[in-house]
Amino acid sequence: MDTDLPGASRRTILSLAAVAAVFPWASVAQAVDGTIYVIAELLAKPGEEAKVRTALSTFARGVPKEPGCISYHLHEDVAAPGRFLTYEVWKDKAAIDAHFQTPAMKSAGPALAKLLAKPLGVTSMKLLV
């Protein structure tokens, strides 16, 4: 199985594929040292911005407490309210796998899907400097 995640197990790839199916707006990249970078972009339906903001803010408060979460930041575009981005840094594959299995993460996708205008494509990135 070809992958952008060097050394990733079949189980890890399948887990990430399952997450991508539920959260198609999520993009995962892994650095050479094993650190994982995730950028997610969500666009609220017109009139649903406040609900999405509240749901994401509530969810985001718990994520940094998860084992292996190095950094988790939720942003809203000042020029386009209702457009949200997360920038996440995880210690390794095990940490992101555990994150994807949390009850909060498993319930976030279906709950937010009703409030989103559409999932947007995201580019995987690697750390250069």
| Tokens at 20, concatenated | 């991508």
Residue 69, pLDDT score: 95
- The predicted structure's pLDDT at residue 125: 60
Successive 10-residue mean pLDDT values, the chain, 129 residues = 45 48 53 78 95 95 95 96 92 87 88 84 59
For position 55, what pLDDT does the model report? 94
Are 37 and 31 in contact by the 8 Å Cβ rule? The answer is yes
pLDDT at 14: 46
| pTM strictly above 0.95 | no
Q: Return the pLDDT at 90.
A: 86
CA distance 114 to 32: 37
Chain CA centroid to CA 95, Å: 13
